[in-house]
Structure 1
């Protein structure tokens, strides 16, 4: 094997929390305390300070990207004498299980929808594009749920292609974390929004390039901007186990829950079980598939204790 080359150049400009917070400028705080409560996750409380320091500057930056994209699309249509109508700006959001992707996605959706030039913002979790449990069981993949091979990539790519082409009422499958499966009787309808946030574990993973040079699209080919939620493995492990313990006291108690059997575990048993699941499945997926895609992101949010973002790395233009 050839040794990895040493290159001094970094494609990112890294900002401390304090330096990044200054980029908010005069962007108004548009979320109330009630909004923050609704946007918070099971183990991640969204604070006013976090929104002001991290997410308002980020929403300001993304607003610049969206408006520039809208302007370029309009001018291109005029130049080409075409009238295809608007196409959405698509943001990809990646990171480990329990890193806080869903919470970040909800906060960004709420903030971006409050900018006047793009009020229609949709959030699409890629969990819905997992193969149904029956298919995973038939293929021996239930223990690898969340790994790249457990997703219906063809359906996801076709969905993104339809959305990006500006088609009306594009349907996405819906996933239930309660029953731990795709819901056949429910669909998420995306109807020509201004912005779409696509959130998932492996959305930045490249496909294997074919030797014959034929085009094979990556999921990230459809993204106009991408974000990776980063944190030390030890912290993510801690957050995962904490979430497992919370679920044991809440959702797992529902008899309809796929994990109802865990509701009667003692706290010590639940902690051991959560840790075992993390280390045997989710940590493996993180190290083998998710973490290697970090450097493909346009922006990396590096979290510390309590889910507080400590630094922001932005890809240089």
Structure 2
């Protein structure tokens, strides 16, 4: 059974984009067209109409979840500790999906919308890229062409980071990744200091592992999420968007001296497309099939894009 079809036994309620847009209600549009242009990734056509149509309702839904969690947290604190003050627990949003599907744009748009609520919450965004093992480690282990697969991440470091965030610890450091040099930046980090909301975005953030037969607890990254979002699309469309982005980058970032991919700016268009196809089929498509797409049913909210890269369907997990 396809869990995303509007069937009797689906765990989701399915909405068209127009149906979903009605849930915006009176949520104000707090972004400008120029800001949306700045926030969107290369090749992503999202505009102010799409923000109003889809993302204001998503923001409103998350706001309802945050309020409910704060109420529950306060009740639990009183149950456990009486009138003793408790440490603030951040609300964590996980965003998953394939390469080139638009996760980064979604994460940045939501960050700006959430930070502009009347209560002015502190919202931080961290991606899993910084938690990749350095290239030297990946090369030593023969994993450079498995970059982005679950085994290429320091999962222990991710779990420690999210545990510290969820515990409300101050000034938690997250490693920094450079897409320009295609590697983790040694000695560099960003500090996340007790946000109200943390958005944690990455390919495999909903990934699970084999359960131990002895019943010992093994935390998953998603155990720390209060709500999870999966950005979805047909594989053929994602494939096309990936190739288009690769060819566009040849005319921009790849042309810069020092870029890890600078060599690709010097080949012909035909050769470049052949390289893009190889990277897609041998790395990204395999990761999508084996690791990313199987996690889609674990998401609370699925935003499905059409051929034009805009959301055409929304699936919301039933309570």
TM over 0.5: yes
**8 Å contact 1:93–1:229 — kept in the other structure?**
yes
Aligned pair 1:261/2:249, yes or no? Answer: no
- Figure out how many residues of one structure are paired with residues of the other and give that number: 312
Q: Distance in 1 between matches of 2:316 and 2:240?
A: 27
**8 Å contact 1:36–1:47 — kept in the other structure?**
yes
The residue that corresponds to 1:139 in the other structure is 141
Q: Distance in 2 between matches of 1:188 and 1:219?
A: 19
Q: Structure 2 length normalisation: TM-score?
A: 0.95
The residue that corresponds to 1:30 in the other structure is 30
Q: Distance in 2 between matches of 1:32 and 1:45?
A: 15
The residue that corresponds to 2:54 in the other structure is 54
Q: Distance in 2 between matches of 1:313 and 1:42?
A: 26
Aligned pair 1:42/2:42, yes or no? Answer: yes
Q: Distance in 1 between matches of 2:148 and 2:160?
A: 19
Q: Give the 5 Å matches for 1:31-180.
A: 31-81=31-81, 82-117=84-119, 119-180=121-182
Q: Distance in 1 between matches of 2:24 and 2:272?
A: 42
**8 Å contact 1:95–1:290 — kept in the other structure?**
yes
Q: Which runs of 5+ in 2 are unaligned?
A: none
The residue that corresponds to 1:234 in the other structure is 236
**8 Å contact 2:46–2:310 — kept in the other structure?**
no
Q: Distance in 2 between matches of 1:211 and 1:77?
A: 34
> Displacement of 1:118 after TM fit?
5.2
Q: Distance in 2 between matches of 1:223 and 1:207?
A: 16
**8 Å contact 2:87–2:167 — kept in the other structure?**
no
CA offsets per residue over residues 107-160 of structure 1, 9 Å max, x none?
A: 000001111335211111001100000100111100100000000000000000
Q: Distance in 2 between matches of 1:26 and 1:238?
A: 36
Identify the match of residue 191 of structure 1 among 175, 190, 193. Answer: 193
Deviates more, 1:231-240 or 1:37-46: 37-46
Q: Distance in 1 between matches of 2:184 and 2:161?
A: 16
**8 Å contact 2:45–2:310 — kept in the other structure?**
no
Q: Which runs of 5+ in 1 are unaligned?
A: none
**8 Å contact 1:90–1:223 — kept in the other structure?**
yes
Q: Distance in 2 between matches of 1:175 and 1:306?
A: 29
> Displacement of 1:8 after TM fit?
5.2
